[in-house]
Structure 1
């Protein structure tokens, strides 16, 4: 090969090109430039010694062309800085949201052919080993992403079937019953990722109106909302159903403390004593007899009335009352009312009209007993729980 004379600028640019391509070899760069491989290797070696202050730099006097060499180095450095600026500008679009480290890895993967992994990792401040590990585990991540997407479809189907009311625990139970078991934490994670939410509790409005002159029954429950069997202990309460701009309907309930079953309920346009007596009579029809059972309520005027006391006596029910002004003493009934309004109103202020209110309430109250899963019953519905007690009493623990 004929010897060629290469100016300092060409040498500096050739070395800079080699250093900017960490994945390339001296042979590749030399072939691209039409330079002898050993010649390019000597330029790179001389540049290394010059940077390190080696013997070649200190033993010999500065050549006449040192100014040109210095200018070439400055131009090379400028090009490196401009390239780094361009890389960072492109990378900024990857960091708009989400996991910043994952975005850095993705940027390196997308631009490694042009800039090289080593240089990109240096500029972005990430270890190359971490990038290669991320790249190696890509198939496993893709499989996990597909599994999460499939699970999100199943979760949305459960939400749609239950009016968007279920949270992670009930959804987990529903999915495990209809397919392969799934972990509750995984369900919660997928729900957060895909922004699937159940309904949350809202602040309740107090509707209890006590009668100071009425006779009071003792507290036979004392905040122990359990029972060893069905048809032993009940709690009752009244809640309102907002209708239209200023209208209301009222719901009275009777709930079994063992199975959480809604044994009786009544809806009316008033809060007179007839409302709570109708709910008590409905519970009596459901059970056949309430003889010996305890009925625990608050101090609302309906429950402290003479007529309700007589209805309890006729049904063989013993009355129990919470302390005045203490919602915790009738917490189970309060919780039921809050859940009922949260899941029927779905964030609205009121039902459109009375018909909608009655039909929506009827549907929800029926589904509460037959379909809706209860966390205290091992994610069973109240009626399913009672049926399982009858068929396999030795295998089921009492409701807590």
Structure 2
């Protein structure tokens, strides 16, 4: 039906609307209701385009790492009152996506992801994402920090080497932590390997993958 309304709108300069509606068997009231709705739709589209521009700027500033939650939080921090579902829709329609650790590291299906029993790790959303990537979840025992020693060791190192500082806002803290992990820790920080000597975590993982392939 919208196609007929658009045809009437396009031809109204050449023929009376009443004649076009009669020929196309369209009620004039329905056509004018569509006209009113079309104006509202165009206004919403313009607002979405403006929001998409703001989102794109924030996404580029985050080094293309922010997803919906971070973009929404940053918009609110800047005083932009916008519904989170609307942010998700605009980002989805324009294929603006954050970077997940899975996308950067590319672990093979069946890899184990281990954590403690924090609510973020036992949530349905987190478990659903793990299943989507074909990973296996492992959780430490309640009250036993030794089951999660590798992760606890990393958190201690992060606190020690990033320094006990206070950031001006949550977005800056996220960016600093991301830079430490991705730019320094994974790719530049050397740790002693018992066989290969001093390697970065990225080098260690690459050697491990080559060994598996061989």
TM-score of the superposition, structure 2-length normalised? 0.49
Higher relative contact order (CA 8 A, sep 6+): 1
* Structure richer in helix, relative to its length: 2
> Which structure has the bigger radius of gyration?
1
